[in-house]
Structure 1
Amino acid sequence: MSSSDIFIGETIGTAILILLGGGVCAAVTLKASKSRNAGWLAIAFGWGFAVMTAVYIAAPLSGAHLNPAVTVGIALKDGRWTDVPVYLAGQFLGAMIGAALVWAAYYGQFHAHLTDREIVGGPGARKTSAKAVEARETGAGPVLGIFSTGPEVRNAAQNLTTEIIGTFVLLLAVLTQGLNDEGNGLGTLGGLITALVVVSIGLSLGGPTGYAINPARDLGPRVVHALLPLPNKGGSDWTYAWVPVVGPLIGGAAAAGVYNMAFA
């Protein structure tokens, strides 16, 4: 596959991943959404289906890594690093495009949510929730969770460990069961397997941090959150932003090491 195919495939695929994954978060979170308060089960399955859809779209062009941790893990497995920068560029650009598309699709809901005094505070609000107080202290705005992840208990060591463990499980499954015949991306069956693994990680390990398990999935939309003209959007929680980048990269590298020792 050519560099242009890789870049186009990763850009389109990651944009679809974030559009559908961020979309389910928006559907569950935002005021005036028919799916509001549908819960964590909807989010976990929504992200799983988002992965499956994105993989099937991008696989013919790029092998559908859609995740820097996957790209680095495969490179560590086979020792080929030439195309890694192209994969990463497409993934981060696609993640930003996908996040912008979520905003466009839910434009009215974002406005209704972020101008509701019960949500953002101000005159007329009955009370300030503990979550709202924490958000002000940490710089996490009221819709940041639609774009990127954040911890329920803010402890850097634990949060990093959770992301490492979740990504380790994802990459070990990809490397052992999900790769195509060439070993450089996800195949047709691999897309389904990976989607189900993502659902499993979400249900079992996603509660503490929101399970980024993908640096592009978190960092790209966080940048978009910081740039979008959203009223009362609050901060983008940059003090936490390194955790969902570093943790998945460590977890992916660890999975590649275990794969090379035990399975290769």
Structure 2
Amino acid sequence: MSNIPASVTSIAHPAISVNSVTKVFTDAGRSTVALDSANLEIADREFVCLLGRSGCGKSTLLSIIAGLARPTSGSVDLHGLRVGMMFQDANLFPWLTVRGNIELALRLSGVPKRDWPDRVAELLSIVQLPHAGDKRPHQLSGGMRQRVALARALAQECKVLLMDEPFGALDAITRDALHEEIERVWAERGLTIVFVTHNVREAARLGDRVVVMSPTPGRIVDEVRVGLPRPRQMADAAVAELSGTLHDLLDRHDVTVEERKAS
């Protein structure tokens, strides 16, 4: 573990550089600091989990990295890499088929129309839904919809995949299957993944590194480099042990926040 609230971890080949990012929201004359001077570097092909309590600014930071929100101050450098994003809700267009949802992403990415059939078939094969192209989103399970959302993100030829609690609404069996799926796709396609979660065991299961955030305001306060071999399972004793360490870190920084409020 290393405490990193005020510095950027040095990485030889970074994919993402977050430099002193602060985000302040103003509503009815009142200002709320959602992120306070966040500094972070993520290496090419690294799998990083952003871990923290609800409301600590994880999703805000992810949105800023994706370019969906502007920081109040600071900057993000993606080093020329294309970014895709997945959310907790698959956000598929219900009036389009699975094929249509993926084709829309291909069109927006500038892929020639003549190449769409082959690319759709390839992407559906990658997410192990080769025969789902003609189905509508309402005909799919939650896990299948998230697989389609993954295929749609990959259709953008992204090298960085940002994932905002994409499995949080799924049952445990489906979630475990999708953990294996995303780990396989990450390794096969050489992706850099930033995965937001408040589930400590999920972070221990998936991450090369777990970056811990504290709330009020949102700060990056710690990191844990995960030395456990892959593949891992949620039920592994080593994953459970690391989960306990992460719980302790969250509790420790929660105490620090309360002390700050009281001072």
Q: State TM-score, norm by structure 1.
A: 0.25
Larger Rg: 2
Which structure's residues are more often helix, by fraction? 1
